[in-house]
């Protein structure tokens, strides 16, 4: 139960804040590495990582130094001027990703909006689609952000309720999941392609939907389909990118390359919001001065931190650690072998445990885990997502597995 101090702070937030979240009853005050502390000094192992944003761990000392030094030197100017850190960041990100051009924004949703603009302009100016007729194919179960454009093509009705009318230009195909096998999914996408199709926009692994991992080979088939029909393949790797799945990008598991890539979250090293859309010069050259922008996008402070965050992915062996410990963690979760567990799935340190709907509510389980010192988050009432910082150790995971096993077997 929350202390009187926590209760007071929770009531203050509920009184003065909009009720667009339903947080667990804990008030956090401090973070370091894989751990968080509440205002009463209680310690918790972070198994959420701000939905993949805290891959480097909380308050990484190297990033703290960078942010302090750069903040005292130059933080914000807007893109009306050139700045010293920006070019270095662009060079670093293009070198590690293999893409030619980068357009920086702040949040993941902004980067998705940027990708939509880029795809449409390419469709009109390169492919020759009739003006205002461009279509983008998305997948059912998608989650790409919360803007009105993005929720307008979501298949989750609660995301759209009361926010219409929504824009046109999006059609939905079947993600490779559950009863929809690889061939059926590809045929679904193929059936939606026409002369006005400029892009396919999907998550290589659906996060918010419950860590849905498609069949092996699905992404490669989708790549072939897009190439055959002169359609851009754009992958949203805001959550799955930058080492989360045990590879730099989730699409690396299938040895393909998309035409456009959307990044965010971990790009800011758990310090600052920064996002990016990456693509070829052919696609990016359709942006011209005044066609798109952001006051804070590409600011010196965020780009300086992001540049170092990219380097630390390799220096701290975060990608390798995600691959190695991810497999270990998944195997241990599968070994719990309890009747309330329906499925355990994921790649790297991004794992979903699906519960039998009739037996337990996932949020209730998260509350029980909270009492054991684990911070976890459910999605869609039936799935608990486990996404610890990529710098987590085997000993810390073993401790978490003990607590998870204890809670599940107590039901």
pLDDT tens profile 116-143: 999 999 999 999 999 999 999 999 999 9
Instruction: State yes or no: pLDDT of 364 exceeds 80.
Output: yes
DSSP bridge partners of 170: 136
In the structure, what pLDDT confidence band is assigned to residue 65 with cuts at 50, 70 and 90?
A: very high
- Output the pLDDT for position 112: 98
Residues paired with 35 in a beta bridge: 32, 45
Domain for residue 100, yes or no? yes
Domain-embedded: residue 57: no
Residue 310 lies in a domain: yes
pLDDT at 179: 84
Residues 362-389 have a mean pLDDT of: 95
Considering 276, 295, 315, which residue would you say is the last residue of a domain? 315
Q: What average pLDDT does range 152-173 have in this prediction?
A: 96
Q: Supply the DSSP string of 296-317, one letter for each residue.
A: STT-HHHHHHHHHHHHHHHHTT
Can you tell me the mean pLDDT for 234-262?
A: 98
| 306 and 400 part of one domain | no
- Interatomic CA distance for residues 270 and 274, integer angstroms: 10
User: Which of 265, 304, 347, 377 is the catalytic position?
Assistant: 265
Classify residue 148 by its DSSP letter.
H
Give the least confident one: 126-130, 380-384, 392-396.
Answer: 380-384
Note if 143 is an active site residue. yes
Mean pLDDT of 320-336: 97
Same domain, 275 and 399: no
What pLDDT, on a 0 to 100 scale, did the predictor assign at position 3? 83
> What contacts 7, CB < 8 A, 6 or more positions away?
none
- Give the pLDDT confidence score for residue 35 in this predicted structure: 98
Residues 184 and 165 in one domain: yes
**Residue 327 and residue 310 share a domain:** no
Kindly report the CATH number assigned to the domain that includes residue 119: 3.40.640.10
User: 236 an active-site residue?
Assistant: yes
Is 11 marked active-site? Answer: no
Domain that holds residue 149: 62-315
Q: For residue 9, what are the contacts with CB-CB under 8 A and spacing of at least 6?
A: 27, 39
264's tokens: 């965010």
85 and 207 housed in the same domain:
yes
pLDDT at 1: 66
In a domain, 187, yes or no: yes
Q: Which of 38, 46, 174, 236 is catalytic?
A: 236
**Which is catalytic among the residues 143, 189, 249, 386?**
143
- Is 245 part of any domain? yes
The pLDDT of residue 393: 98
Q: What is the largest CA-CA distance in the chain?
A: 64
């Amino acid at each position: 139960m929350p202390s009187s101090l926590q209760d007071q702070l929770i009531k203050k937030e509920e009184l003065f804040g909009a009720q667009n979240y339903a947080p667990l009853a804990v008030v956090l005050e401090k973070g370091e590495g894989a751990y968080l502390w509440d205002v009463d000094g209680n310690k918790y192992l972070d198994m959420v990582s701000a939905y993949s944003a805290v891959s480097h761990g909380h308050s990484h000392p190297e990033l703290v130094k960078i942010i302090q030094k750069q903040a005292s030197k130059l933080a914000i100017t807007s893109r009306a001027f050139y700045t010293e850190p920006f070019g270095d960041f662009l060079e670093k990100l293009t070198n590690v990703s293999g893409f030619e051009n980068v357009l920086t924004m702040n949040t993941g949703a902004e980067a998705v909006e940027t990708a939509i603009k880029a795809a449409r302009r390419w469709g009109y100016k390169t492919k020759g689609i009739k003006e205002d007729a461009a279509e983008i194919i998305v997948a059912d179960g998608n989650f790409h952000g919360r803007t009105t454009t993005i929720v307008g093509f979501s298949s989750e009705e609660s995301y759209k309720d009361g926010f219409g009318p929504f824009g046109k230009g999006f059609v939905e195909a079947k993600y490779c999941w559950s009863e929809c096998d690889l061939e059926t999914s590809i045929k679904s996408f193929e059936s939606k392609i026409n002369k006005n199709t400029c892009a396919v926009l999907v998550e290589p692994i659906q996060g918010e939907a419950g860590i849905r991992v498609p069949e092996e080979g699905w992404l490669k088939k989708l790549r072939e389909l897009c190439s055959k029909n002169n359609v851009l393949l754009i992958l949203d790797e805001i959550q799955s990118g930058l080492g989360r799945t045990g590879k730099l990008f989730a699409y690396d598991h299938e040895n393909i390359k998309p035409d456009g890539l959307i990044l965010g979250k971990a790009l800011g090293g758990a310090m600052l919001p920064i996002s990016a859309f990456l693509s070829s010069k052919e696609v990016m050259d359709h942006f011209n001065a005044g066609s798109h922008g952001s006051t804070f996008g590409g600011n010196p402070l965020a780009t300086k931190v992001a540049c170092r965050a990219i380097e630390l992915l390799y220096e701290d062996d975060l990608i390798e650690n995600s691959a190695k410990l991810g497999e270990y963690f998944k195997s241990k979760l599968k070994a719990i072998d309890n009747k309330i567990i329906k499925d355990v799935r994921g790649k790297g340190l991004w794992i979903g445990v699906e519960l039998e709907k009739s037996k337990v509510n996932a949020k209730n389980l998260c509350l029980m885990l909270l009492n054991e010192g684990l911070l976890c988050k459910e999605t869609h009432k039936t799935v608990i997502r486990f996404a610890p910082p990529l710098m987590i150790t085997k000993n810390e995971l073993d401790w978490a597995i003990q607590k998870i096993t204890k809670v599940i077997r107590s039901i």
